[in-house]
Amino acid sequence: MRATLELPAAYACRYSKLPRAFGCQDLRQRVSEMKIPQYVLCFTLAIMAAVEAVHPLPEGKSESPPGPVHLLYAAEDPQRPIWISAELATAEDGSVDWEVLGESIRLTYENLKTWPSVIIGTDERGRPVYDPWTSGPRPDGVYWGPTHHDYIGRPPDGSLEELILHSRYIIRGRLIAQQLGFFDTEPATLLAIRVSHMVLPDEAPRTKVSAILYVAYPSAEIRIGEYGFFKGDPSFPPLPDVGDEVMFFDYGVALDAGRRIFLPESDKILVRLTGGEILRGQPLFGTHKLDSDSGLDELIGRISKLRHVYAVEKRGE
């Protein structure tokens, strides 16, 4: 699956040229009708409207993981949902609520069911092993393979120095929560990242950036009723666990109206497991810019020689 996008000089939202995936129906009412605690509802609706300021918690107190994020709208179109949680897409009887998910996802699902399966071998139990690079049907659902994007006018990124200089955002933080859902019409896992270090564009003052940001990770297994929605991209590191560190470089902007969700490219993300091992994504073209032998602290040191690195106030944990 491939999309060719135009990247304006001002780095407009990287998905501004994608076709509208949903109608103009307003799902806010559906969120308000969900049987969820009031504090979670308030959190969800608040992040759809504004970006909170970074501020330290009182000494000695810990910050709880964020509540579930059920619905977020696209930055370039406040009427188009860009994130829908799997919970929101589940009707009261446990079936898929296609009215919430939208016609685009339903048609894509039905279309992928007709694609040929690409089997590359069998596992130790004799079960078929499917090609992870190819979208298509699976015995219990449908699989979305990697989605690659081309950019017109992309700034150079052939070296680590160019990557540092031309990234609008560089974010490092720890994964504190995961959530299954659909990002821009595809299955995804939403990673909640508590930020420890960040590099920002000049027009994004630090006081306007949240201490918790999100990554729409292209890895998910979602089962709703009789339907299975699966997503994978072997060019990315394996899906990180809560407690792992994540660091990514982003040439674009946050994609939701609240400016909190990012979708980094596979060769611009590192995952540091709790045991210390560092995993990196695979470049689809060219060579690696990120050295997996370098620790994240060392990378922050190299970045700070070229850009201003903000260290977010530590929370008591």
Burial class (CB within 10 angstroms; exposed 0-12, middle 13-18, buried 19+) of 253: buried
Supply the pLDDT for residue 13.
Answer: 33
Q: pTM score > 0.85 for this model?
A: no
**How does pLDDT run across 62-96, given as a tens digit for each residue?**
455 678 999 999 998 888 999 999 999 999 999 99
Q: What DSSP state is assigned to residue 96? A: B
Nearest to 219 by CA among 203, 207, 204, 235: 235
Measure the CA–CA gap between 198 and 65, rounded to whole angstroms.
20
Is the CB of residue 243 less than 8 Å from the CB of residue 289? no
Helix (H, G, I), strand (E, B) or coil at 249: strand
**How does pLDDT run across 179-205, given as a tens digit for each residue?**
999 999 999 999 999 999 999 887 665
**How does pLDDT run across 255-279, given as a tens digit for each residue?**
888 889 999 999 889 999 998 999 9
What are the residue boundaries of the structural domains of the chain, listed by start?
2-311
Measure the CA–CA gap between 128 and 114, rounded to whole angstroms.
18
